[in-house]
Amino acid sequence: MTHTKLLTYAVFAALCALSACTQLPPPTRAPATARAVAETPPSVTPPATPALRDAGPLLHIDTAQSLIAVTVRRGGILARLGHDHVVASHTVTGTVSPSRNVADFQFRLDDMKIDEADLRRIAGLEKQPSADAIEGTRHNMLTKVLDADRYPLVTVHVERSTAGQPLQVAITLHGVTRTLAIPVELREENGVINVKGTVQLKQTDFGLTPFSVMGGAMSVLDPMELRFDLTAR
């Protein structure tokens, strides 16, 4: 073997030995971030909304058998020249939910009657005002005190927590809501509910200014007595 061939063979053998000892690079893989983007996260089901308690059957206010009457009394040094008054609503509408122990009802101020003779007797008011005096009272009440064009409705929300305890009553009048605990006489019979009671209110508690003339010499007192007799069936 010639010297040139011997040298070529030695170089070739060295290259083969070197390649046998060298590790090949690992195969190329897709970036992890690309794979993560392609994966779709499992869907998440929102928790179920709890079902509302069944309100049960609703009773309706029996308008013909229901009454709200308010007695207001005169004041001032010339009170003897005026009259006490009874203002009543015979048009109460609304509903009662016995299963939830709540009720909601309302009446219109411009539907209220002024100084009905039988209601005056019940309130202990003897002298009956003239028709003109009654009409004047109605005008002053609706326009100068109650602002009935702007606030035509009185709304009432009632809740009963425990039998025999006062009702929690929220009254909204003239855009103002007041909540009171009112003791009542409550009867339930054959699916019919009747509630009776009285409560003392103040006109100023509802942002009202009691009517007065001649610098207060003749006026209506701030306190008023509200009597109610409501039937739902």
**181: amino acid identity, one letter:** A
* pLDDT given at position 163: 85
Whole-structure pTM over 0.95, yes or no? no
Gap between the terminal Cα atoms of the chain? 127
CATH T-level assignment (fold) for domain 68-232: Lipocalin (2.40.128)
* pLDDT given at position 118: 97
181 burial (CB, 10 Å; 0-12 / 13-18 / 19+) is: exposed
Pairing outcome for strands 59-60 and 93-97: antiparallel
Only one residue has tokens 């009776």, namely: 196
**17: amino acid identity, one letter:** A
Domain boundaries defined on the chain: 68-232
pLDDT tens track, the chain, 233 positions: 444 443 334 334 333 333 444 444 444 444 444 444 444 445 555 555 444 456 679 999 999 999 999 999 999 999 999 999 999 999 999 999 999 999 999 999 999 999 999 999 999 998 899 999 999 999 999 999 999 999 999 999 999 998 889 999 999 999 999 999 999 999 999 999 999 999 999 999 999 999 999 999 999 999 999 999 999 99
Question: Residue 189's beta-bridge partner residues?
Answer: 192
